[in-house]
Amino acid sequence: MKNVLIIGASSGGQLVAGSLLKQKSRYRLVGFLDTAKNKHGQIVAGVPVLGGHDRLSDVIISASVDEVIVAISDLDKGVLYRLVDETADMGVELRIIPNVMEISANTDLFSQVREVNAADLLGRMAAKIDEKLVASEILDKTVLVTGAAGSIGSELIRQIAKFNPLKIVAVDINENELYFLELAASRHFKHILFKPYICDVRDRESLGVAFDEKPDIVFHAAAHKHVPLMERAPLEAIKNNVLGTLNTLHLAKDYKVGKFVLVSTDKAVNPESVMGATKRFAEMITYTFGADSTTNFMIVRFGNVLGSNGSVIPIFQALIREGHNLTITHPDATRYFMTIPEAALLVIEASARGTNRDMFVLEMGTPVKIIDMAKRLIVLSGAHDIKIEISGLRPGEKLHEELFYEQDDVTRVENTKLLRVSANEMEMVDLEQLEQELVRGGYRADPLGYLKSHVSCYKPRQD
């Protein structure tokens, strides 16, 4: 039998307690801890509220607690950090209820209690969007997503499907992942026409076949994103991130698409990397296309997402499972993080709220120190013998990322986690000259020089 202590004596805690008390052969509820002093000493669900969170260690020892359940879905992350550390030090299991957006109303809350994960340690609350507004934009529309098999692209498709579009057009060069996405679509949203296209955004003719589906909205998520790799392959970065974006923009304009959304990155702000410079270039081209256009061309910029293919958290988790030490680039390095579903939902909401040449930045919360995240993951795994090694910043990497060029030019969009950036930070592009350069392959001889000549804010780091 497990002795269980619940953090939080309000509705969530009481629901969990009710389920525990029905399983007396497996669990013994020893009590609650709650920050509200007026609850201390009260009897809730037949057991006492034993004090505040500061009594955790004492109660664990005195009541021989085996498991602690956090029954507060919006618990302050600093408090959660302390609970993670304290329970780990005492060898006690820690679990948590899902956040409000993840809780299933039709399922017993105790059965939804899970282990603490990386997303819980983000230090931010999940965003809530205006679902009625989004539904009115997506309902019965044809939506095309490039980079559809990637982390963001596939999540965009899953979230878009919830709002009942007429058709989803999925474009990607990755045959295997696109096939798996099609299988998932056939299982989970059969009522929506799903049209996958294996094609390369660098090939305008091939891409045009997908646009024959006549999309109303385009989300352009296709991009090469790995910073160190793009430092070694600047030609590929330009071809995919710049030429690929130009091709998609042209087709969106030619087919009179209603809305076009470029998915961008915080690495496009004062870029020091090839990847960041190409994404900034893509932003500039998208903004320029908005001049005298019937299509609404928009940009949405955000930072890192947890769990994306090749990102730091899955890599850390894989290393921990394999018993390897973790390597970080610098003890002071920070990054902005959000979950993939939250990022996708906010991108969709931005498309619903935006008009031509709007530039949005997702509110990313407080930057997270990579070394702190690594330490927490080690604690959560219980693999206390794993060490953290410092390797030094890799080519193109910055110590800290930025979200804006000018803080004063940013305004919040109503009561949302969308920030609208002033057009003052955007530069125009000579599209005719750009077209000629790309057709002639003028970037091939000196790709870095080409980027520097077009992206004035690109300043490669000098090591």
The residues that are catalytic are: 267
Structure tokens at 265: 């990155």
State how far Cα 121 lies from the chain centre. Answer: 14
Please state, in angstroms and rounded to a whole number, the distance separating the CA atoms of residues 407 and 77.
26
In angstroms, the CA 390 to CA 392 distance is: 6
Distances, alpha carbon 158 to alpha carbons 164, 333, 345, 395, in Å = 11, 32, 10, 34
Alpha-carbon separation of residue 341 from 105, 135, 158, 215 (angstroms) = 19, 17, 9, 23
β strands within 89-175, DSSP E: 93-96, 114-115, 142-146, 167-172
Helix ranges restricted to H, 96-198: 109-112, 131-138, 151-161, 175-188
Query: Hey, CA dihedral for 171, 176, 180, 186, is it positive or negative?
Result: positive
Q: How far is the C-alpha of 428 from the C-alpha of 432, rounded, in Å?
A: 12
Whether 364 contacts 336, CB under 8 Å = yes
Task: Give counts: helices (H), strands (E), the chain.
Answer: 17, 22
Smallest CA-to-CA distance from 217 within 139, 136, 132, 144 is with 144
Per the structure block, which two tokens stand in for 129?
């969007």
The CB density around residue 52, as the number of other CB atoms within 10 Å, is 15
Distance CA 289, CA 285 (A): 6
Q: Which amino acid is at 96?
A: I
Which of left, alpha, beta for 8 (phi over 0: left; psi -120 to 50: alpha)? Answer: left
CA atoms of 108 and 91, how far apart (whole Å):
27
User: What backbone torsions phi and psi does residue 300 show, to the nearest 5 degrees?
Assistant: -130, 125
CA distances from 370 to 43, 50, 110, 289, 316 (A): 42, 36, 32, 37, 11
CB 227 within 8 A of CB 275: yes
- Look up tokens 């997702």; give the residue: 362
